Amino acid sequence: MRVNVIKPNFSYKPYRWYIPYLFIIPALIYFLIFTLYPIFFTIYISFTKWNLISNPIFIGVENYIKIFSDPVFLTSLRNSLILAFILQPIITFTGFLLALLLNRLLLWFRNILLFLFILPFIVPMAVSAVIWGRGFYDPIYGFLNALLRTMGLEGIAWLGDPNIALFSISLVNFWAWVGYHSLIYLAGLQSIPQELIEAAIVDGAGSIRIVIEIIIPLLKPVFTAAIILATIGGLQIFTEVYMLTRGGPGYSTYTLGYAVYYKAFTEYDYGMAAAEALVLSLIVFILALIEMKVLGGVR
Amino acid sequence: MLGKKIRKVALFLISVIMIIIAVLFAIFTSVPFIWAILSSFKTPEEIVRIPISFIPKTFTINNYIRLLMETNFIRAFLISLFISIATTIGVVITSLITAYALSKTEFRFRDIFIRYIIYLLALPQYLMLLPQFYIIVKLGWINNYAAIIIPAIVSPYSIFLLRQYMLTIPDDFIDAARVDGAGEMYIVFKIVFPLVKPAIIIISLWTFISSWGSFLWPLIVLNDPSLYPLATYMNTLQSAYGDYRYTGVVMAGTVLSFLPMIIITLVGFKYIVRGITLTALRR
Amino acid sequence: MKSISEVYLENVTKIYKTRFGSVKALDNVSFKVNKGEYFTVVGPSGSGKSTILKIIAGLMTPDIGKVYIDGEDVTFKPPKERNIGMLFQSYALYPHMTVYENIAFPLKIKKITREEIDYKVKAVAEMLRIDNLLHKKPAEISGGEAQRVALARALIKEPKVLLLDEPLSNIDILLRSQIRAELKALQRRLNITVIHVTHDQVEAFSLGDRVMILKAGMVMQIGAFQEIYFRPKNIFVATFIGNPPMNIIEGRISRYDKGCYFVSIDGIIKVPLPCKESLSKLEDMSVFIGIRPETINLAPCMGSSNKEKLAVQVLNIEPLGANSIVHLKIGDNPIKVLISMLQLREVYGQKQLCIEFDPTNIYLFDEKGNIISL
């Protein structure tokens, strides 16, 4: 590694100076136009009233006041928080438990199971949602209700009952992501040196103690990363909602993501949509920060 | 003596239970797909039969015929294929040159750039969604596939992953090529590229899969439903055949949609696994 | 009062199934370690040494055979119940715990009171001179210190047997002899039974009261240094110990002139041997003789002595300081001789050199490499 004692302008490079800049042009254009500019623009239009055709009208914080008194928005906020802070930890924890199981299995068996575990992650959510909607959640012909009926129980209105609909959406999300998390934790488990576990066995630790006192602390960075990723994803859940319930019944499955979409592309109120998007992003940002502090162990 | 026996039996039982749980979960994740496959071969009469049947008693491929003949499915499929392939090729190329510049060359803004990419990865999509849409409108790209492909051609995740891989290539290779007179472009494609093939495969698979499944963006950017790629088209299909009797057709559509993904997962299993584990472990 | 234990392995065999068929990691291994003994196991990599340790520790069970500690059959008992301490090659310290917590870990499991744990940890730490590191994490201490922490953890539960898996491999060469001495002293002081596994024969013989030589999962020989050095059972053992290794020459047994001789393949080396019963069976079969480099002398070919002399051709001289290795050839046979600086000076410049040796220093091996007693 060369140590630059002279300022970079003077150090010799084996290629012409403009080459690196040339190489990053596509990425640079993309970042400037499609990420940096949009961020500021979103912030800007969140303070305006705008329908995309005429010019944006500056209205200050009116949007923000409106959304916090808007019951629809508040419902979507509540729903998204549930999906992010109750559902995602369940998903990641289940993934961790499954990883512990998978770790003990023979390689070929483990791979078969893993393959099945991650299928829901690979298949487009839109496609899976249709299958869930028709095959499982249909009140009359759906598999779940048929199962209940054979047990002598009544069918449940999975997507029709406002108290259950959010749970049904959660189930689909759970089904899609647990496999992904179990794979991440499996990789983490395998990064723990075998001798460490052997030492613990020789020291007399039983399996449970090994998991709690050795494995979990060592996997803290993995936990943190997984939970943060899951939380961010959870706050933005959209496709399942769109395909299965369109936010209904009533507003019981409205999520922040769906709310932004609806405000912008059905009601054409881009200003308010931007404000909602900004609130969403702020929550993501703050919570990611909190989670990093609390769980620790992140670069 | 007895204690030892009991312990042995208990340990054995626990292993059995563990296997059962794992298998049960595998069943849980695969049941929807199995159901879709089975239902796609059921006649409309059988689908609405109560009590429901799992395995089709009468086997029919009518649903597929209807799907392929009467709907735009094939078109949506081909559209998705086109978009996904184009996007993947684009991502590989841009990621290669960008990652190379960020790992094997030095320039003033390099570290800022890298930092920016990392932060970008954590930003929620919604923050940038509306202005992105506005830009597409202004560019006149509504109902144009450029709107889908071009923004997707740069993938911060792929750039980051590829850069990590490239950092493990000893500089000597590249310096030797420079001494031999090779231009940087040549180095990227003829020297570095073969050395990072595993990462390229991971990126390609990842990009293809994510492009295949993209739903929201095409929904926003395409007004004409006949232009929809597969995932977004699912919605059209689902409403077109709202009557439950025609669920078989819809299921045929889902089966043909996820079948390529299953095949890709089978073939590229090792790489997909690597791609997923690298995502989270990098932090 | 700690009790010291004896360890006994009986007919232990361990088989691994691989894609290419089954491999015997250990093949019918039996040995006994006496109470309070420092027992070393030495062999090349892949010889099964670590497997033996794992079986004694209880991390693996043998496919055939039994393990006894103090006469009790522990073959299928989990490590927890065997009360052994193990020092792993990588030390295996828990990275997220402090040194104190690492050492205390085995006691924590036994549910001893916190005061007692504290007392014991501090006592062990003091004994191993790591008491100033107790609050640090494994990443913050040096290799040598880490090893002592791992040792402390192994010793804190006052085990009957201490197992050491290549403890010196990761230690700086310069520190090795010092740590070797410390290990031996520690064992003496604690009067504990130690089984120490290594690939370094110097280490094995300098530390071990008795040494077991292992090759490809089979026991080659067990014994104290003298026995192995002077009475090797086969060529492997004979050439394994000693630097430079014993010279081995292939040839046949011949009788003529009313005597028995070993004749090398090219016919040039002829060594008289006592005519014994065991020799007559070997006529016309391949045999090997062995002679240690330090038992051969370089001398001018003139002059008389009652030793055997053979004319040699000097190839190369390798000075090692006080001694030198002389590489030479007799006919087609390469031979190495170890001589001192004084001897070297005596024969330097001589035109025609010979080697001389005492025929009673010759070892005879059959075609399978096993020793034949003379």
- Give me the residue from A196, A205, A209 closest to C92, CB to CB: A196
- Give me the residue from B35, B110, B128 closest to A35, CB to CB: B128
Is A230 contained in some domain?
A: yes
By the 8 A CB rule, do A76 and A145 touch? Answer: no
Q: Which residues of A touch B260 (CB under 8 A)?
A: none
By the 8 A CB rule, do C233 and C221 touch? Answer: yes
Residue of B nearest to A186 (CA): B277
Return the number of other C-beta atoms located less than 10 Å from residue B9's C-beta. 10
Mean pLDDT, rounded, for A228-250: 89
Same domain, yes or no, for C11 and C140?
Answer: yes
- CB contacts < 8 Å between A and C, how many? 57
Residue in C33, C367, C16, C9 with CA at minimum distance from that of residue C195: C33
Same domain, yes or no, for C273 and C234?
Answer: no
Q: Which residues of A touch B272 (CB under 8 A)?
A: 118, 122
What are phi and psi for residue C314, nearest 5 degrees?
-80, 130
- Rounded to whole angstroms, the Cα distance separating C126 from C129 reads 5
Q: Is B273's CB within 8 Å of A183's CB?
A: yes
Mean pLDDT, rounded, for A266-292: 86
Best of A127, A207, A263, A281 to disrupt the B interface (most B CBs within 10 Å) is A127
- Rounded to whole angstroms, the Cα distance separating C43 from A252 reads 71
Mean pLDDT, rounded, for A211-218: 90
Q: Which of the other chains make 3 or more beta carbon contacts under 8 angstroms with chain C?
A: A
3-state class (DSSP) for residue C106:
helix
- Give me the residue from A33, A175, A187 closest to B28, CB to CB: A175
Mean pLDDT, rounded, for B197-224: 92
Is A65 contained in some domain?
A: no
Token digits of residue B45: 């009469």
Alpha-carbon separation of residue A12 from A62, B51, B58, C284, C310 (angstroms): 56, 79, 76, 76, 68
- Taking the CA of residue A199 and the nearest CA in chain C, the distance in Å comes to 6
Residue ranges and CATH numbers for the domains of chain B are: 72-240 (1.10.3720.10)
Residue A124: pLDDT above 90?
A: yes
Q: Which of A33-37, B8-12, C97-101, C167-171 has the lowest mean pLDDT?
A: B8-12
Q: Is A41's CB within 8 Å of B131's CB?
A: yes
Supply the pLDDT for residue C111: 82
- The whole domain housing C319 covers 247-372
Residue of A nearest to C162 (CA): A202
Cβ-based neighbours of B258, under 8 Å, separated by 6 or more: A123, A124, A127, A128, B33, B36
- Rounded to whole angstroms, the Cα distance separating C157 from C2 reads 10
Residue in C224, C147, C134 with CA at minimum distance from that of residue C179: C147
Is C2 contained in some domain?
A: no
- Rounded to whole angstroms, the Cα distance separating A97 from B248 reads 36
Token digits of residue A15: 């290629």
Is A204 contained in some domain?
A: yes
- Rounded to whole angstroms, the Cα distance separating A236 from A277 reads 10
Q: Is B23's CB within 8 Å of A221's CB?
A: no
> What is the length of chain A?
299
- Give me the residue from A202, A206, A214 closest to C57, CB to CB: A202
Residue ending a domain, among C195, C222, C240, is: C240
By the 8 A CB rule, do A244 and B234 touch? Answer: no
- C121 forms bridges with which residues in the sheet? none
Longest dimension (CA), chain B: 82
Alpha-carbon separation of residue B99 from B106, B155, B193 (angstroms): 12, 11, 11
Domain harbouring C367, CATH code: 2.40.50.100
By the 8 A CB rule, do C129 and C93 touch? Answer: no
Quick one: what percent of chain B has pLDDT higher than 90? 46
Same domain, yes or no, for C280 and C198?
Answer: no
- Rounded to whole angstroms, the Cα distance separating C133 from C161 reads 26
- Taking the CA of residue A154 and the nearest CA in chain C, the distance in Å comes to 51
- Taking the CA of residue A163 and the nearest CA in chain B, the distance in Å comes to 24
Residue in B220, C50, C81 with CA at minimum distance from that of residue A206: C81
Q: Cα torsion at C246, C247, C251, C256 (round to 10°)? A: -90
Hey, is the C-beta of C248 within 8 angstroms of any chain A C-beta?
no
- Give me the residue from C90, C95, C97 closest to A195, CB to CB: C90
- Taking the CA of residue A219 and the nearest CA in chain C, the distance in Å comes to 10
- Give me the residue from A193, A200, A205 closest to C90, CB to CB: A193
By the 8 A CB rule, do A253 and A79 touch? Answer: yes
Cβ-based neighbours of A84, under 8 Å, separated by 6 or more: A230, A231, A234, A235, A287
Same domain, yes or no, for C148 and C165?
Answer: yes
By CB neighbour count within 10 A (0-12 exposed, 13-18 middle, 19+ buried), where does A160 fall? middle
- The whole domain housing A140 covers 70-295
Q: Is A196's CB within 8 Å of C80's CB?
A: no
Q: Show the DSSP H helices in C317-365 as ranges.
A: 341-347
Query: ω before A249 within 30° of 0 (cis)?
Result: yes
Across chain A, what does the average pLDDT equal?
87
Terminal CA-CA length for chain C: 49
Q: Is B105's CB within 8 Å of A221's CB?
A: no
Q: Is C57's CB within 8 Å of A203's CB?
A: no
Q: Is A218's CB within 8 Å of C157's CB?
A: no
Q: Which residues of B touch A30 (CB under 8 A)?
A: 151, 153-154
Low-confidence ranges of chain C (pLDDT < 50): 1-2
- Give me the residue from B28, B47, B153 closest to A141, CB to CB: B47
Domain harbouring C43, CATH code: 3.40.50.300
Q: Which residues of A touch C109 (CB under 8 A)?
A: 203-206, 209
3-state class (DSSP) for residue C73:
strand
Angle between helices B269-281 and B247-267 (to 10 degrees): 80
Is A217 contained in some domain?
A: yes
Q: Which residues of A touch B209 (CB under 8 A)?
A: 122
Angle between helices B2-40 and A165-190 (to 10 degrees): 130
Return the number of other C-beta atoms located less than 10 Å from residue C369's C-beta. 15
Token digits of residue C263: 């004749």
Cβ-based neighbours of B66, under 8 Å, separated by 6 or more: B246, B249, B252
Residue ending a domain, among C216, C240, C264, is: C240
Best of C108, C120, C149 to disrupt the A interface (most A CBs within 10 Å) is C108
Supply the pLDDT for residue A299: 43
Is A206 contained in some domain?
A: yes
Residue of A nearest to B116 (CA): A31
Best of B117, B127, B269 to disrupt the A interface (most A CBs within 10 Å) is B127
Supply the pLDDT for residue C230: 92
Total count of domains within chain C = 2
Q: Which residues of C touch A201 (CB under 8 A)?
A: 58-59, 78-80
Is C175 contained in some domain?
A: yes
Q: Name the percent of chain B in helix, strand, coil, to the closest 5.
A: 80, 0, 20
Q: Is A24's CB within 8 Å of B51's CB?
A: no
Is A2 contained in some domain?
A: no
Across chain B, what does the average pLDDT equal?
88
Q: Which residues of A touch B15 (CB under 8 A)?
A: 104
Identity of the residue numbered C209: D
Region of C327 on the Ramachandran plot (φ > 0 left; ψ -120 to 50 alpha; else beta): beta
Q: Which residues of C touch A196 (CB under 8 A)?
A: 92, 94
Residue ending a domain, among C179, C214, C240, is: C240
- Taking the CA of residue A141 and the nearest CA in chain B, the distance in Å comes to 6
Domain harbouring A228, CATH code: 1.10.3720.10
Supply the pLDDT for residue C1: 37
3-state class (DSSP) for residue C26:
strand
By the 8 A CB rule, do B63 and B249 touch? Answer: yes
| pLDDT, greater one: A126 or A228 | A126
Q: Show the DSSP H helices in C65-172 as ranges.
A: 99-109, 114-127, 143-155
Is A249 contained in some domain?
A: yes
- Taking the CA of residue A207 and the nearest CA in chain B, the distance in Å comes to 11
Q: Is A135's CB within 8 Å of B36's CB?
A: yes
Q: Is B254's CB within 8 Å of A131's CB?
A: yes
| pLDDT, greater one: B147 or B50 | B147
- Rounded to whole angstroms, the Cα distance separating B254 from B67 reads 11
Residue B159: pLDDT above 70?
A: yes
Hey, is the C-beta of C85 within 8 angstroms of any chain A C-beta?
yes
Q: Which residues of A touch B215 (CB under 8 A)?
A: 124-126, 238-239, 242
Same domain, yes or no, for C226 and C291?
Answer: no
Q: Is A26's CB within 8 Å of B35's CB?
A: no
Q: Is A201's CB within 8 Å of C80's CB?
A: yes
Same domain, yes or no, for C260 and C210?
Answer: no
Token digits of residue A137: 């959640």
- Rounded to whole angstroms, the Cα distance separating A183 from A197 reads 20
- C254 forms bridges with which residues in the sheet? C261
By the 8 A CB rule, do B186 and B178 touch? Answer: no
By the 8 A CB rule, do B169 and B192 touch? Answer: yes
Total count of domains within chain A = 1
Best of B130, B159, B269 to disrupt the A interface (most A CBs within 10 Å) is B130
Q: Is C92's CB within 8 Å of A198's CB?
A: yes
Q: Which residues of C touch A193 (CB under 8 A)?
A: 90, 92
Q: What is the DSSP string of B187-228?
A: IIIIIIHHHTHHHHHHHHHHHHHHHHT--HHHHHH---GGG-
By the 8 A CB rule, do B80 and B259 touch? Answer: no
Residue in C60, C155, C66, C145 with CA at minimum distance from that of residue C104: C155
3-state class (DSSP) for residue B138:
helix
What are phi and psi for residue B72, nearest 5 degrees?
-90, 15
Same domain, yes or no, for C218 and C356?
Answer: no
Token digits of residue C205: 């013989």
Same domain, yes or no, for C144 and C60?
Answer: yes
- Give me the residue from C58, C79, C92 closest to A195, CB to CB: C92
- Give me the residue from A203, A214, A218 closest to C106, CB to CB: A203
Supply the pLDDT for residue A7: 52
Is C1 contained in some domain?
A: no
Q: Is A203's CB within 8 Å of C89's CB?
A: no
Q: Is C109's CB within 8 Å of A201's CB?
A: no
Q: Is B283's CB within 8 Å of A134's CB?
A: no
By the 8 A CB rule, do C184 and C176 touch? Answer: no
Predicted TM-score of the model (pTM): 0.85
By the 8 A CB rule, do A117 and A175 touch? Answer: no
Same domain, yes or no, for C233 and C300?
Answer: no
Angle between helices B73-104 and B230-240 (to 10 degrees): 160
Q: Which of A216-225, B43-52, B268-277 has the lowest mean pLDDT?
A: B43-52
Residue in B158, B190, B162 with CA at minimum distance from that of residue B174: B190
- Rounded to whole angstroms, the Cα distance separating C180 from C207 reads 7
Q: Name the percent of chain A in helix, strand, coil, to the closest 5.
A: 70, 0, 25
Q: Is A218's CB within 8 Å of C110's CB?
A: no
Quick one: what percent of chain B has pLDDT higher than 70? 96
Per residue in C181-190, is it b (16+ CB within 10 Å) or e — as a string? Answer: ebbbebbeeb
By the 8 A CB rule, do B252 and B43 touch? Answer: no
Return the number of other C-beta atoms located less than 10 Å from residue C298's C-beta. 21
